[in-house]
Chains A and B, each alone.
Chain A
């Protein structure tokens, strides 16, 4: 995580934290007060990452894979119906957050790993969301939010009414970052972009969104090279202009493999071993199709066992696992787990998360909380005009003063291609706004001397200042240039600061 080089300036998240405290002290309504307090706490917690995508894209499966446990229930039909937040905690618990603001603890049990939550006769619409507290190292780094899929017609309508220009400046967003899951879709398909336009989770940007080409094993018809094939397609998407303005990158992923890889049991491995040890020809025949695998009478495994294997691994997974076992590249459940996880592509996703989200986590969180506070101030206005005005003033001041936000905005503008600058300049902006060491941001290596850094920064200031004062530049470019100037100034200060 990058430290702002200007030692004298307070960190943005600390400022926002104080704002939250201020809001809590100003609010007289207990609900608002609680909300402000929880916003403050949110800053202390980990990054909140939401999964979005159409129905049956594999959101819950991917969540399970990232947690490494079968937590969220998955099914062949539509399954997730409520927004569910999975967070790290000391004990195990499920709480329903009702629309009226109350919280109710719910009963739950685990059924073959997955959580079976009993909403205790509460009507579905009355529940705002579920919160699952689960001690898990994966959840310690990121709080994960599972969402119901974007369904077909109704959501389209709601999307329409929300519209483009009606886009609200201050709706609080639940998530700091978003993982979009998409099936293989046509570039020109309206639904393709539509899945990105669901802004109920917050505004999308390459800074906080990653796309996942899900169910990648199905794309290649479960052939042995299916994942390579999916990687090729993901590569094409990545180079797509529209898409690259929406998300940082596109990662191909076989969620089922990842989930099962993380949770493979020894008995399952044994069943796979039995399969792999059987006659090659028989195995070949079994693996021709799902029906053959399940229906034909073989004395190898009971039919139920085979069905279970198929449900856990899919045809691709079974083919892969038996091939690897047969070739002797794996023997134990641990080997197999590693193999499946490697094949699934989940590692690449983790890497992307670590590179793109986590370094900026603090700023992203601060931004999300600030947005939420704005919304809170608006609601506060009804009860207490002067308090709301005070809060809004403070928010304004913080926002205007925080150069990190400005940088975030600059990075967003550059990444989305909204700035009319040359490619070279765009790359420079990307580099400059990257959460990294000052030398790296200036385009130097870490062993560069302070003088070198200062020289580069001074030249940058000069260059961008000229651009900012160009009378013919459009307002957006001028604004971007002046942000860049400030960033270079900060770099210069960092170079000159005593080590």
Chain B
């Protein structure tokens, strides 16, 4: 077995054709069968073989604990088109393969064999295996493995383990948790080398690896069918060489227009949402169905913001282009990116430019082909068009999971202005890709920047670019590692050669793609950035289900109670009526909560505006003192850097306060609502009251989840955080005109050669000039602060208004839903009163069934929570 893998490993890089690889299967008895099965399923088996082989290779190669790297690539690479065009082509009806990798500990479903093994209990009897496993090669492998495990654990649990079974320390089969780490979806046209996942492993978890391929005939993208039992075993066994995790690899073909199919990690939640939606549909509650479908969309695409930063000319845009396998961001040998570029998912390529025109912000869609004219130094010299930000919507599979890539303009000497703005943005970002090229080692400002950003952002990746060009990049790599270690920074450093990815696409060369380093980066993003966001989204989906169910359940219960006990009908009707009128009031403009909301929001807005004005004034005062002292350009540099950092800090602080304030208001309003509703306590008579707390079920669910929680966490302040961060970067990009740094250096040489001959006269002249420059600097500082105050003030106003609107709408909507529940129940109860006994019984049966269905859904959501808590607890011990 090991020898076989060894051969695969050795042979693979050179062998390009599947037939070469298939020969390697000759020892496999079931080869024909596999092939036959695959043919029956219509799967081009060569593709699968190719997909599988590297999998073997990677899986068996990985260290006992650490990172597992899985990669797959489909066959049939074309050599004719660039990444972008192949992407378009894949939409034009070509088949698209999506490969997913999920991990989790093995399932209880596999228990029978595990128990059997345990019952046998004797490691020497390992040859007694499931019927399908008779080959001697397999036995050999099993023996080896058994020995390995014995050594590793000092116990004879080999049989169960080698059968792919999970074993807790007590030797018991473990329960199947939700696949934790990740599903990573990689989809692309056949030309696109897809790939992989780096799955974090922890010790003590038995692995399984399975491969599922859906029938090609199936139009349902969500349908997954076992690939082949034989094959499944085989893969699993291979994986046992290093038993740690269960790994699920699924490949599915997507119809070209397919949108975000269900994915395993969120599959449970997705299904839950579907079932809940179905239940509500049967209750004719379109409003709740809509809410759940919104939740589903969110679940499938939780926003995760990854910022790409670095000094200019390091290859940031190229990196993004390589990630997306196309020419998305403008790239040029000369300075290219002059505006903040945000790349996110969209159904069609669309480019929106935000710019200033006569002091007003103009948002306009432009022809993607003309993008260069807007954001490059050549097309838009010195940013004359005052472009602040470019939004690119792109139907790219990598972005489908909600990944948002932010390309920043290069920072000059990273500690300066842009750096400060980026740092301010980081608390909102889920990930940061720091780009520095291999032509030179890390500079001091870069290290400082990294140090600061590691404190602010959960995931920072160092991308060492241009490794395809620099012969001695390994040495630079080492030097950089040394610098990072000296600074006590622990972050992954990935060598990246962006052009190689494009070349690999063209040539269909997987090895070349691996060399480009992009797959590793995608892996890292998937596990460290997208997976946490997905977990959070799953959690939120469960809460949504809870909340929706609790909107309906009490009214149904009341109705049922009345049906079953006609004596209480009158009372029940009265109660329902009371509840309805109470909710009528709550919904109306006279309700106290809406008053409270308006008042508190006005306060908050004032506070924020005042806070901003105060900090700006304070800054101005500080700067004035300092401006009198500056003498040299270096002083000025320091000063402006400080100013920018301080401003960014102040603005971040105020936005943070605003969000905290909005949260507090939300809590207070809810408390008041609860109070108001409690006054309608008459419903207690039926043993059930309106469950107010469940009303606002989607409040804060990110408690205990740090960092990533900020983005997807709170219901109301979701993406706004990221947006204000993006806003901040663009503010700084705009307010720091080229002249800023050069003010004092306007003409440093007028002193140079001239001074030698002119003596003191010229120096005096320069003293006068220094005064003038100080004046200029003063004007420039105050203009900057004015601009900040104006812009940020406006933005704050917008934020508060939006917050208020969202809060109000959200609560009104919830009350409306509840109102509808009770109004419906009342109507039905009134109708029931006139029904015959038989009809009533039938009706109560239906009700009971509906209630049971909803309760089941709710319980499942609860179970999901518990499961996630367990897994989360293990993932972060």
- Chain A residues engaging chain B, CB cutoff 8 angstroms: 55-56, 76-77, 152-153, 156, 159-160, 163-165, 167, 169-170, 183-193, 196-197, 199, 203-208, 215, 218-222, 226, 229-230, 232-233, 236, 242, 245-246, 288-292, 294, 307, 310-311, 314-315, 367, 371, 399, 405-406, 408-409, 412-413, 416-418, 475-476
CB distance from A77 to the nearest CB of B (A): 7
Chain A residue contacts of B497, Cβ below 8 A: 289, 291
Q: Could you list some 25 contacts between A and B, CB below 8 A?
A: A55-B440, A76-B476, A159-B634, A165-B631, A170-B756, A187-B738, A188-B742, A190-B633, A191-B413, A196-B749, A215-B439, A219-B313, A220-B333, A221-B469, A226-B333, A289-B499, A289-B500, A290-B467, A290-B468, A290-B469, A315-B471, A367-B756, A405-B757, A413-B750, A416-B749
A289–B467 contact, CB under 8 A? yes
Of B476, B752, B767, most buried by chain A (CB within 10 Å of CB) is B752
B758–A409 contact, CB under 8 A? yes
B471–A294 contact, CB under 8 A? yes
Measured in the bound complex, the distance between the Cα atoms of B633 and A292 in whole Å is 46
Q: Is B794 an interface residue (CB 8 A)?
A: no
Which one, B470, B476, B749, contacts A205 given CB within 8 A?
B749
* Given A289-B500, A292-B515, A418-B754, 10 other A-B residues pairs in contact with their CB atoms under 8 A: A76-B476, A186-B335, A190-B741, A204-B753, A220-B333, A221-B333, A289-B467, A289-B497, A291-B497, A409-B753
Measured in the bound complex, the distance between the Cα atoms of B633 and A208 in whole Å is 23
A221 to chain B: closest residue by CB: B469
A412–B753 contact, CB under 8 A? yes
Q: Is B444 an interface residue (CB 8 A)?
A: yes
A191–B515 contact, CB under 8 A? no
Chain B residue contacts of A294, Cβ below 8 A: 471
Of B313, B469, B473, B742, most buried by chain A (CB within 10 Å of CB) is B469
A156–B747 contact, CB under 8 A? no
Chain B residue contacts of A475, Cβ below 8 A: 761, 765
Number of cross-chain contacts by CB at 8 Å = 185
A371 to chain B: closest residue by CB: B756
Interface residues of B in 444-479 (CB under 8 A from A): 444, 466-473, 475-476, 479
B468–A289 contact, CB under 8 A? yes
A291 to chain B: closest residue by CB: B515
B333–A204 contact, CB under 8 A? no
The 9 residue pairs across chains A and B that have the minimum distance between CB atoms: A289-B468, A189-B412, A203-B752, A205-B753, A229-B333, A418-B750, A76-B472, A412-B753, A160-B634
Measured in the bound complex, the distance between the Cα atoms of B753 and A220 in whole Å is 35
A236 to chain B: closest residue by CB: B334
CB distance from A246 to the nearest CB of B (A): 6
Q: Is B267 an interface residue (CB 8 A)?
A: no
CB distance from B765 to the nearest CB of A (A): 7
CB distance from A348 to the nearest CB of B (A): 18
Q: Is B33 an interface residue (CB 8 A)?
A: no
Measured in the bound complex, the distance between the Cα atoms of B634 and A153 in whole Å is 12
A57 to chain B: closest residue by CB: B440
Q: Is B763 an interface residue (CB 8 A)?
A: yes
Of B335, B468, B471, B766, most buried by chain A (CB within 10 Å of CB) is B471
Interface residues of B in 720-766 (CB under 8 A from A): 738, 740-742, 745-759, 761-763, 765-766
Which one, A191, A207, A418, contacts B747 given CB within 8 A?
A418
B752 to chain A: closest residue by CB: A203
Chain A residue contacts of B765, Cβ below 8 A: 475-476
Q: A190-B741, A203-B749, A230-B333 are in contact. Are A56 and B440 (CB under 8 A)?
A: yes
Measured in the bound complex, the distance between the Cα atoms of B746 and A495 in whole Å is 41
Q: Is B512 an interface residue (CB 8 A)?
A: yes
B756–A203 contact, CB under 8 A? yes
Measured in the bound complex, the distance between the Cα atoms of B438 and A315 in whole Å is 14
Measured in the bound complex, the distance between the Cα atoms of B758 and A418 in whole Å is 13
Chain B residue contacts of A371, Cβ below 8 A: 756
Q: A164-B631, A169-B756, A289-B467 are in contact. Are A417 and B747 (CB under 8 A)?
A: yes
CB distance from B418 to the nearest CB of A (A): 10
CB distance from B316 to the nearest CB of A (A): 13
B312–A186 contact, CB under 8 A? yes
- Chain B residues engaging chain A, CB cutoff 8 angstroms: 312-313, 333-335, 377, 410, 412-413, 416, 439-440, 443-444, 466-473, 475-476, 479, 497, 499-500, 503, 512, 515, 631-635, 637, 738, 740-742, 745-759, 761-763, 765-767, 770
CB distance from A488 to the nearest CB of B (A): 20
B382 to chain A: closest residue by CB: A187
Chain B residue contacts of A197, Cβ below 8 A: 633, 745, 748
B752–A412 contact, CB under 8 A? yes
Of B333, B416, B745, most buried by chain A (CB within 10 Å of CB) is B333
Q: A76-B475, A188-B741 are in contact. Are A408 and B467 (CB under 8 A)?
A: no
A416 to chain B: closest residue by CB: B749
B754–A412 contact, CB under 8 A? yes
CB distance from B329 to the nearest CB of A (A): 15
B416–A205 contact, CB under 8 A? no
Chain B residue contacts of A307, Cβ below 8 A: 471
Of A205, A207, A208, A230, most buried by chain B (CB within 10 Å of CB) is A205
Q: A221-B499, A413-B754 are in contact. Are A152 and B748 (CB under 8 A)?
A: no
B334 to chain A: closest residue by CB: A233
A235 to chain B: closest residue by CB: B334
Of B439, B472, B637, B745, most buried by chain A (CB within 10 Å of CB) is B745
CB distance from A499 to the nearest CB of B (A): 33
Chain B residue contacts of A233, Cβ below 8 A: 333-334
Chain B residue contacts of A185, Cβ below 8 A: 312-313, 412
Chain A residue contacts of B634, Cβ below 8 A: 156, 159-160
Which one, B334, B440, B476, B500, contacts A232 given CB within 8 A?
B334
Chain A residue contacts of B473, Cβ below 8 A: 290
Chain B residue contacts of A208, Cβ below 8 A: 753
B467–A196 contact, CB under 8 A? no
B764 to chain A: closest residue by CB: A475
Chain A residue contacts of B759, Cβ below 8 A: 169
A206 to chain B: closest residue by CB: B749
B766–A165 contact, CB under 8 A? yes
A411 to chain B: closest residue by CB: B753
B470–A290 contact, CB under 8 A? yes
Chain A residue contacts of B512, Cβ below 8 A: 288, 292
Q: A315-B469, A418-B747 are in contact. Are A193 and B754 (CB under 8 A)?
A: no
A188–B412 contact, CB under 8 A? yes
B754–A188 contact, CB under 8 A? no
A188–B740 contact, CB under 8 A? yes
Q: A190-B637, A288-B468 are in contact. Are A199 and B752 (CB under 8 A)?
A: yes
Measured in the bound complex, the distance between the Cα atoms of B755 and A167 in whole Å is 9
Q: A205-B749, A229-B333, A418-B747 are in contact. Are A165 and B475 (CB under 8 A)?
A: no
B412–A190 contact, CB under 8 A? yes
Measured in the bound complex, the distance between the Cα atoms of B440 and A152 in whole Å is 13
Chain B residue contacts of A203, Cβ below 8 A: 749, 751-753, 755-756
A291–B467 contact, CB under 8 A? yes
Chain B residue contacts of A186, Cβ below 8 A: 312-313, 335, 410, 412
A292 to chain B: closest residue by CB: B515
CB distance from A409 to the nearest CB of B (A): 5
B748–A196 contact, CB under 8 A? yes
Chain A residue contacts of B633, Cβ below 8 A: 164, 190, 193, 197
B757–A409 contact, CB under 8 A? yes
CB distance from A81 to the nearest CB of B (A): 17
Measured in the bound complex, the distance between the Cα atoms of B748 and A167 in whole Å is 11
CB distance from A415 to the nearest CB of B (A): 9
CB distance from B648 to the nearest CB of A (A): 18
B474 to chain A: closest residue by CB: A291
Chain B residue contacts of A156, Cβ below 8 A: 634
Measured in the bound complex, the distance between the Cα atoms of B336 and A184 in whole Å is 13
CB distance from A78 to the nearest CB of B (A): 9
Chain A residue contacts of B377, Cβ below 8 A: 236
Q: A229-B333, A290-B469, A290-B471 are in contact. Are A165 and B767 (CB under 8 A)?
A: yes
Which one, B471, B632, B637, B749, contacts A311 given CB within 8 A?
B471
Which one, B479, B741, B753, contacts A207 given CB within 8 A?
B753
